[in-house]
Structure 1
Amino acid sequence: MLISVVVPAYNEGAFLRQTLGKIHHAIEANEREGMQWEIIVCDNNSTDDTAVIAQDSGATVVFEPVNQISRARNAGAAAANGEWLLFIDADSYPTPALMADALDVIEAGQFVGCGTTVEVVGGTLFNKLRMERMNPFFRLFNWSGGPFLLVQRDAFQAIGGFSHDLFAYEEVDLVIRLKRYGRSQQKKFTVLWKNPVITSGRKGEIGALSLGRLFVSNFLAVILFILHYLLPKAAVRWLGSRLLGYWYNQRL
């Protein structure tokens, strides 16, 4: 069985080498008979050495010119050959124990995918608490964010991948559709929590301007997520591309 790890990356030269090294380590610690891996990095129109670092680290590199994480993930998935797609953010990485849990999900044969809770390293205490506060909700409502998201390829293709209409909460939208599809196939989606994915706390500095942008961007993201069920998709896409720059100034 081939598993494709897809890493979207926009100007991630500072983080990508560590991320890919950690992914390789988690894979090597979980060698199982019949399991094969490939790592695909989608360079999302970077202006730094993201693509060079990815190539030097042994990853296959594809290019997506439009700066949007949904498009980057979809472009990486389109180049993948695996029966399972494992999306990992460029500033996040799995521990060997988390990778083992993900392989158990695959081998169980009962799931269309899984997400995970998060452990934030680096950055401010405020940002750690802000991001990790979502973990109980991930477990309670059985949905997750995007730093680590495992999806069966057939299911991913059946639901059309990540929405190009959303510039934030695109992973929530995907999980909602994935769970609906899974029910039609008598399969489940689950959230792993014993071994969270490690993710960077680099955003969310404590300062009037940064806090203001953070809260406004989160508010707008929620509003646009709701509106994408109500308004024409083109309108939501246009608004998202202009209002949600907070997530796209440093990273995808």
Structure 2
Amino acid sequence: MPKVAVLIPCYNEALTIPKVVHDFRTVWPFAEIHVCDNASTDDTGNLAREAGARVWYEPRKGKGHAVRRLLRSVDADWYLLVDGDATYEARLAPDALDLAGQLGLDLVNISRRETQATAYRAGHRWGNQLLTGTVQRLFGNPIKDMLSGYKLFSRAFVDSFAVQSNGFDIETEIVVHALTLNLPVGEMAGPYYPRPEGSVSKLQTWPDGFRILFRVLNLVRQEKPLPLFLGAGGLLILLSLGLGLPLFWHFWETGTVPRLPTAVLATGIMLVGLLSSAVGLILDGITRFQRENRLLTLRRTRP
């Protein structure tokens, strides 16, 4: 029997955490339930402990901080990450583990199927589609609901994964990590319920949406530096040529430079373009080296 851990990052979920812990203890009696109390101001931690979970405390607010604390503290063969707001169906957890075992997956994403129109807050559905679509185009993402808070991943995945995110951009980082290492990923759908009355979402539509978008752009810089810097360098070189070639032909014909400031500007832009291209080549080599090290970690971890 594999050792399974359920990881539940929580902030002020006293209303829902007893039910979430109970549901997972019911469907997975052999699993360890771990709750990270992310500096809650209510009784979340005590209620989770009374329900039978082991509680960890993370004073720095932010889901990424809480997930980092859980992954650093918990040892298991399989890790199931789920929000503590009672919006996900616990009975899907064994199916996700079966799917991962049958297909040899390192990541199973459980996408959300709305049970009511009020399950998503206004703007969240559109934002999820926009951000997921962006990652699909940039990284070849096969996952349709990247921002789902319900994910299963293997020990090998966790051992190769260094969490950088501090907030709700953690889901994006998890998916991009799997894609950049070409890990086998899968997805299954499950019901997504509205929050119980009195429970308030911590996700702020615009600030967290921009934070996730910036995380995507930062991951592009980290994982795909060559096309980013080479593309920027190429555009700058073309701009420099557009400014400088007319001056060059004028100099060739007359021996004079009519617009010296423009010539200086074109030279500066050309140098920056060449420097950007060189930086892209250097960073690409570093990225490949780091990726190979992570793949070696995966091979050492796999049974």
- Using structure 1 for the length normalisation, give the TM-score: 0.69
**Partner of residue 216, structure 2:** 225
Q: Structure 1 residue 115: deviation in Å?
A: 0.6
- The root-mean-square deviation of aligned C-alpha atoms, in Å, is 3.3
Q: Structure 1 residue 134: deviation in Å?
A: 4.7
Aligned counterparts of 2:127 and 2:60: Cα–Cα separation in 1: 31
**Partner of residue 163, structure 1:** 164
- 1:65 aligned to 59, 62, 70, which one? 59
Aligned counterparts of 2:152 and 2:56: Cα–Cα separation in 1: 20
Instruction: Say whether residues 1:107 and 2:107 are aligned partners.
Output: no
Instruction: Say whether residues 1:180 and 2:180 are aligned partners.
Output: yes
Indicate conservation of the 8 Å contact 2:120/2:194, yes or no. no
- Cα 1:132/1:90, change in 2 over 3 Å: farther
**Partner of residue 149, structure 1:** 151
Q: Structure 1 residue 24: deviation in Å?
A: 2.2
Which blocks of at least 5 consecutive residues in structure 2 are unaligned? 223-303
Instruction: Say whether residues 1:93 and 2:84 are aligned partners.
Output: no
- Cα 1:113/1:157, change in 2 over 3 Å: same
Aligned counterparts of 1:229 and 1:133: Cα–Cα separation in 2: 19
- Cα 1:57/1:215, change in 2 over 3 Å: same
Indicate conservation of the 8 Å contact 1:44/1:72, yes or no. yes
Indicate conservation of the 8 Å contact 1:148/1:197, yes or no. no
Indicate conservation of the 8 Å contact 2:127/2:209, yes or no. no
Indicate conservation of the 8 Å contact 1:43/1:63, yes or no. yes
Larger Cα Rg: Structure 1 or Structure 2? 2
Which structure carries more strand by proportion? 1
Q: Number of paired residues?
A: 208
- Relative CO higher for 1 or 2, CA cutoff 8 Å, sep ≥ 6? 1
Indicate conservation of the 8 Å contact 2:108/2:187, yes or no. yes
Q: Structure 1 residue 230: deviation in Å?
A: 4.5
**Partner of residue 240, structure 1:** none
Q: Counterpart of 1:14 in 2: which secondary structure?
A: coil
Q: Structure 1 residue 142: deviation in Å?
A: 2.4
Indicate conservation of the 8 Å contact 1:89/1:146, yes or no. no
Q: Structure 1 residue 135: deviation in Å?
A: 7.6
Aligned counterparts of 2:98 and 2:112: Cα–Cα separation in 1: 19
Q: Structure 1 residue 41: deviation in Å?
A: 0.3
Q: Structure 1 residue 191: deviation in Å?
A: 1.1
Which blocks of at least 5 consecutive residues in structure 1 are unaligned? 29-35, 205-209, 232-252
**Partner of residue 195, structure 2:** 200
Which structure carries more helix by proportion? 2
Q: State the identity as a percent.
A: 19
Q: Deviations over 1:170-226 (max 9, x none)?
A: 211211112333x3xxx5111112x3454638668xxxxx9xx63464245424532
- Cα 1:128/1:21, change in 2 over 3 Å: farther
- Cα 1:217/1:156, change in 2 over 3 Å: closer
Q: Structure 1 residue 75: deviation in Å?
A: 1.0
- Cα 1:221/1:145, change in 2 over 3 Å: closer
Aligned counterparts of 1:119 and 1:172: Cα–Cα separation in 2: 19
Q: Structure 1 residue 159: deviation in Å?
A: 2.3
**Partner of residue 46, structure 1:** 40
Q: Structure 1 residue 133: deviation in Å?
A: 8.6
**Partner of residue 55, structure 1:** 49
Indicate conservation of the 8 Å contact 2:124/2:205, yes or no. no
